[in-house]
Amino acid sequence: MQAMTLNIATSSSHSHPMQARSISWPSLCERLKRVIGGAKEGRGWVAANIPDGPRANDRVISTSLLVFDIDNKGSVVTQAELEMAIRDNGYRAILHSTYNHTPDNPRFRLILDISEPIKPPDHKSLLLHVAQNLGITDFIDTACMDISRYFYLPRCPTGRIEDYVFLSVDGDAVNIEACLDRIKFDRRSLEPQPSVKIESEVNGWEENESNIAKIKEFLGYCSADCEYEKWRNIIWSVTSLGWDIGVDLVRDWSKASLRHWVKSSAQTTDEVLQGLIESFDPERDITIGTLIAESKSNGWTPVSPFEQILVVDQESVPESQMRNRSYQIYSREDLRKLPKQQWLIHGVLPLQGTAAIFGAPGTGKSFLALDLAARISEGVDQWFGVGAKQRDVVYMALEGGGGIRKRIDAWEIENSKKVENLQLVIGEFNLKDSEHVAGLMQDTKPKLNKGWVTFIDTLNQASPGSDENSSVDMGLLLAAAKRIAMESEGIVVLIHHSGKDGSKGLRGHSSMNAAMDLTIEVKKTAVGHSWSTHKVKDGDDGVTKHFTLAIHTTSGSTFDEHETSCAVRPTEPPKHERTPTGKLQISVFNALKAKYEANGPITKMDALGLAKEVLVNEPQHRVTTKAKETLASLKSGEYIKEDENKCICLP
């Protein structure tokens, strides 16, 4: 698609009237290349078609560009990561640094060309949809959603002109029509239309596979052991749909209850359930919105934070239910009385929730998961020197299940201890199949104490046919995992792969990372294996431990031949020097190493100057940026580090 003529507005100040003008994409690039030193004030622009006069949202005719301010306040996305995301999506873009940008605290403005002007009502949803495609929803400043947002022309403090970053990426304009179609599709899949009528088709909630899966997801967030009135209302809520499968849905959900479903008198309990369903009265104003409201109060959210949020029409929910909130108000003294966070592995693995152990193939993540599972189940009081508690454990060996015996043999040899309590699940299992999940609960509950740990190795094997990049598929898988955690009153640990960009965590849809209470990333380098914690709720992020895979000869095969397998063996952090592999990294690293060994720690300014000297063959207009990027990559790869004085030194 060719770049369209852009209708924007400019002014000499954010408080002065705007002047409408047209500009081409190349002209915009040329203007934003130039940076002015001085205070953050003066001339700026609005990425919208506004008639001459005041700058106000109600005067915006259309938006001409998608503009994101990336402030990196909570977590950091680098220039290299942004460039990769832009190129992966094929977008035509401008990326430049903003006023408070420094190499250590990067701040950027990202401008995307679009295929057609955007109507004001569509601006916010399109902005957030594209942000999700780029993977930058956690980094953007929400103020950029304002359709008449005033953007200053590039400025830097006088002493930091050389830190200014400008990048133009060629590609295609964002296809607005396609994006709007996708947004409308996602909204249709999420929006219930409550009604008090009992019909086979209730305002769009027809009985189909997608809607049935959504109801199962909502039920997964509601405990069947709730008080009777809530249990009854949820049953009536599903009944209001008039589905043929409705009875089975509420029966399967109720069977998880110890309070409302007595196994010794299942027939009697089923008769009570049938009586409730038959007594449903539409005049009670209980609709599917009742179930949705309850699941939301228990933590259900759309799988993407920027998808259309389900809103239950208040007219469809009685005022008494609207007042029935799940929150409580606490005083400071009340907070002191609340129970402290409970840990299985102190500061690392909580007693309850959902977690993930992830890494690239060959990093040893399954060996690490089995080591953790065995230690918890057998009551070994430490894991990598950290205090551990004993709990029942179910380990679902779905990937290479036949080799689990060898791995357990190797663990027993390495630890001089028998594995006697670990429960193993081998075979086919589908988290999206409610019968599989219900069957697992039915089989495990009689054998295990509440609070057990469930390992699922791997998530990919437990989700056959699922699209990992689909928000709907990932939502169903996560809901099933949360259901297992809730019913077991314990924690579910998913073993999963990392994505192409390891810095973005778990492979697949971004909702995966957001839903986890903890992730443990496993890596393999030339000097060994390591694991690091991320997203530990009320614990410490960034705990890193090192290990190797010790090889052991295990029991014989059917041909009486010796077999081997591995077991995790903790090691000390590697002390010998690590060297980078990239051509530019090697050149800069060797220069830094020589200077460091001769004179000790190097100031950041000297390190940058040295890097620029080494990269003298790079294009002149890119050498500073390339030097900064190379230094940043050396630092992120832990080939160099900063001391307490912010000087560069070797680890």
Cα-Cα-Cα-Cα dihedral sign, residues 333, 337, 339, 340? positive
Tallying the residues shown for the chain, one arrives at: 651
Whole-number Å distance between alpha carbons of 36 and 157:
8
> What count of other Cβ atoms lies within 10 Å of the Cβ of residue 79?
20
Instruction: Give the pLDDT confidence score for residue 313 in this predicted structure.
Output: 39
Q: Report residue 165 as tokens.
A: 């970053």
Helix axes 288-297, 209-220, angle to 10 degrees: 50
> What count of other Cβ atoms lies within 10 Å of the Cβ of residue 412?
18
Q: For 77-231, where are the E strands, in sequence order?
A: 93-97, 108-112, 151-152, 155-156, 166-169
Give the largest CA-CA distance in the chain.
88
Of 626, 607, 606, which is closest to residue 616 (Cα–Cα)? 626
Whole-number Å distance between alpha carbons of 485 and 391:
14
Q: Report residue 425 as tokens.
A: 């699940």
Instruction: Give the pLDDT confidence score for residue 292 in this predicted structure.
Output: 87
Whole-number Å distance between alpha carbons of 262 and 248:
17
Residues 6+ apart with CB under 8 A from 79: 95, 106, 108, 165, 167, 625, 629
Instruction: Give the pLDDT confidence score for residue 642 in this predicted structure.
Output: 79
Chain-centroid distance of CA 414 in Å reads: 35
One-letter amino acid of 520: I
Whole-number Å distance between alpha carbons of 479 and 600:
54
The string of pLDDT tens digits covering residues 359-417 is: 888 888 999 999 999 999 999 989 999 889 999 999 999 865 568 888 999 999 999 99
Whole-number Å distance between alpha carbons of 184 and 444:
42
Q: State whether residue 136 is helix, strand or coil.
A: coil
Quote the DSSP letter at residue 309.
P
Q: What share of the chain is helix, strand, coil (3-state, %, to 5)?
A: 40, 20, 40
Chain-centroid distance of CA 545 in Å reads: 23
Q: State whether residue 166 is helix, strand or coil.
A: strand
Phi and psi for 438 in degrees, rounded to 5? -60, -40
Residues of the chain with pLDDT under 50: 1-2, 189-203, 264-268, 303-326, 557-559
pTM above 0.85, yes or no: no
Instruction: Give the pLDDT confidence score for residue 322 in this predicted structure.
Output: 42
Instruction: Give the pLDDT confidence score for residue 419 in this predicted structure.
Output: 94
Q: Report residue 465 as tokens.
A: 């046919």
Q: Report residue 260 as tokens.
A: 């409302």
